[in-house]
Structure 1
């Protein structure tokens, strides 16, 4: 569900974190390879190498800022993920509390060691509206907070 053009004003916004450092790993490897190729071009042709280096640095910056832009938060309406740095990539999607099935995180030795989890925030009625996040910093804690808040609302009979 997109929450971009709504007139509903949410209160009690709780930030649930962002991407872990592990999300930057493959982008870091990509950056190193791209910079090494740029340096090779610099040795062959200064002008062409500077162009390749400039474009490479722009691509690397966009990748890192794109990863950094991912945020997860919950409010009185539901749980939302926002991301994007360029106007055509910005957006928010999420699940309203009344439609939330459950939030789960996936365990592995890697996720346990680095505290970087994959999260699925399920929709009761459709898989298309689910939110899936990988490499989430302390995703286990975020999932526990989401499920605790959902249980509070269910017990208070506050979901309409």
Structure 2
């Protein structure tokens, strides 16, 4: 038997990269409803939409830490390269974690909350390799080599 689907959003904007909160009560996504892409949180029970970031660049690929306190994401400020950023789950303290040598397209938390994986180009346009770093932005390690077709999102297998 199929469950009845419920539409959660209806806006004249592009919305991408949904990520559920660790407790499953809400989901986070990136949308350009007010200009550049920012992070928005939709609370299911209240059907309330909250904008978490405001004009800090073009924000994509958000992911919650396992404790739900922080969000990692990719942000492109102006004409700069997309980089790994972090913000508190309430939208406070958005800050740069790592500015790579090339285009970064995705970031995600490790289940243990101590590392972040990201996908970055290593010289071939539109081809990306996967890297891991500490949540502090240190100790980078490339974990894939010569993969064809690695694209826009990554995730950990717990």
Shared fold (TM-score, shorter chain, > 0.5): no
Structure having greater relative contact order (Cα 8 Å, sep ≥ 6) = 1
As a proportion of its length, which structure holds more strand? 2
Larger helix fraction of residues = 1
- Smaller-chain TM-score bracket: under 0.3
- TM-score normalised by structure 1 residue count: 0.26
Larger radius of gyration: 1
